[in-house]
Amino acid sequence: MLDSLDAAAVRRWCAVGLDALRRHQHRIDELNVYPVADRDTGTNLVLTLDAAYQAAMEEDPVGAPVGLILARMARAAARDARGNSGVIISELLRGIAGAVEDAATIDGRRFTQALGQGVRAGYAAVAEPAEGTMLSVANAAAVAADGAGSDRLPEVVRAAVTGAVEALLRTPDQLLPLARAGVVDAGGYGLVLFLQALAEVVTGEEVRPTFPLERLPHGHEEQGKGAPEPPDFEYEVQYLLDAAPSRIEELKQRLRTLGDSLVVAEATEPGNGAEPADNAETACWNVHVHVNDIGAAIEAGLQVGRPHRISVTRLTGQAGTAGARPLFADPRSVSRTPDTGQVPKTQPSGPKQGGRGVVVTVEGDGLAELLRSEGAVVVTVGPEQPATTERLLEAIHHCGVADVVVVADDETGREAADTAAGRAREEGYTVGVVPVRSPVQALAALAVRDPSRRFEDDVIAMAEAAGACRTAQLTVASREALTLVGRCRAGDVVALLDGEVVLIGDDILTVARDLLDRMLGGGGELVTLVTGAGAPATLADELVEHLRRHWPFVECQTYQGGQSTGPLFIGVE
């Protein structure tokens, strides 16, 4: 029997807990009816905790503090978290790790405090916490541990397990979908197994909760009490996001308007209290949401930071939310254009089956020719030539195939692309929209497209490639203005990095070199340079030479874009 948890005990806890979840993985999947009956909660918990286990088993100096192991587990779990349940359990670990920090061991009192902090972190990560879920089971465990009023670790842990089991049995009374299916909450069941594993490690004996786990209800098919309701949203979108903590509330507000089951958890190293540092320049976040519009969910991440490791899973059933815009909708299931409510014109012949087309909006003759050479149907845009719905719909038709990806490179183009995509779907097309902020992101998206992949997977890969490409541009100020880095005057060269002014100077080459150095200081293997109509003839060659001298291991591609919006676009991947 252990009086405290040290690093070795935490490793055993993770190993025993992971083994228990693997043995019960299929059963937990069967129980999964809330928030969506997609039968993957057990799988998600196993994958998430397997990442934590791999991190826990990394070699450490003898006598490494328990806080170090927990922090490593929490970070790995957060980065590899799968689904709602995976993100929530990663936040529980993160809160516990933040509470113990540099502690060598954890006694009963310290564990009670850490578990309470883990629960608070879990609730904070979920946009709309519900009772009858994994969170309420975790909260009951923390309350029971505190109610034990003991400093002895075995008593505290036993109380936590008992409280968790009792809360698990209440979950069908708290959530109607569980009651209809005759099951307990799947995530809560997984958490009980994980806590039971801890009790077995601490006490050295098999734990017998108040209500034996073997007597818990099975899945709804065995109960025969009715099938679960179809989900309101068709896709689960999840990605890691590099963004400043100050931008996360903006992200949450945007994603709340798009779907539900929103969980945003920090995936950087937990510190004291496991709270994000508000003044930190950038942190990593795990973003999970159920939506109909995959592109909009990814674009929300692009607007505040850099999304990567994007994954999309089709949920069980059909999306039925009014006004939803499923990105990969079966054309037969769409009857009206969501943006306007108007029934669009139908093409008599419909699209030809087979093949895959791509439509790109872009400004600049050189860029247009470059994208055409890559097989894209190009819609040229400019101040006098906006990307309208009709122009984009015509371009979709011009592709002559059923599956079309639209890469829209500005806000106006994105809105028109969404509307055109909706109208095209009613005509029998399958259309995906990939939003980009710069033509270099469009190039990055086209570089990874692969018609041999499933359409959905290809669109995701293109969106991920675009998001992974950091962008910058040079422009020439037309008037005096005050920026975040000082005052610029008419004629000054202004450098924008991801839309923010970062440098001001009077020489294009000098500013461009400094901008490249700043971008590559954060890493990068490939630089793309697109020169505009106002760029000096030697600019690209001089920048290539600068890269050769100062960044010899970086590959560089140069193009004459001919754009009038600035003398240089830069992409770094």
Whether the predicted model's global pTM rises above the 0.85 cut: no
Mean pLDDT of 389-400: 89
What integer best gives the mean pLDDT of the chain? 80
Interhelix angle 7-23/186-203, nearest 10 degrees: 140
The Cα-based distances of 185 to 36, 170, 237, 331, 368 in angstroms read 11, 9, 22, 35, 53
Residue 224 has pLDDT above 80, yes or no: no
Mean pLDDT of 425-432: 87
The per-residue pLDDT for 477 is: 87
Domain 7-222 matching CATH 1.25.40.340: the answer reads yes
Provide the CB-side half-sphere exposure for 517 (13 A, CA).
10
Domain locations in the chain? 7-222, 331-464, 470-572
Highest mean pLDDT among 60-64, 142-146, 295-299: 142-146
More confident residue, 500 or 329: 500
| pLDDT, tens digit, 9 for 90 and up, residues 90-107 | 888 888 888 887 778 888
- Percent over 90 (pLDDT), the chain: 17
User: Token pair for residue 257?
Assistant: 């308007």
What distance in Å separates the CA atoms of residue 556 and residue 573, rounded to the nearest whole number?
A: 10
Residue 137 has pLDDT above 90, yes or no: yes
More confident residue, 324 or 79: 79
Site of tokens 């025993």: 16
Q: Choose which CATH entry (3.40.50.620, 3.40.50.300, 3.40.50.510, 3.40.50.2300) describes domain 331-464.
A: 3.40.50.510
The per-residue pLDDT for 59 is: 65
User: Token pair for residue 88?
Assistant: 């929530």
54-58, 138-142, 243-247, 367-371 — which is least confidently predicted?
Answer: 54-58
Domain 470-572 matching CATH 3.30.1180: the answer reads yes
What distance in Å separates the CA atoms of residue 46 and residue 28, rounded to the nearest whole number?
A: 10
| pLDDT, tens digit, 9 for 90 and up, residues 292-308 | 888 888 888 888 888 88
| pLDDT, tens digit, 9 for 90 and up, residues 161-170 | 989 998 998 8
Strand ranges of the sheet holding 259-266, from the earlier edge strand across to the other edge: 259-266, 283-291, 235-243, 305-314
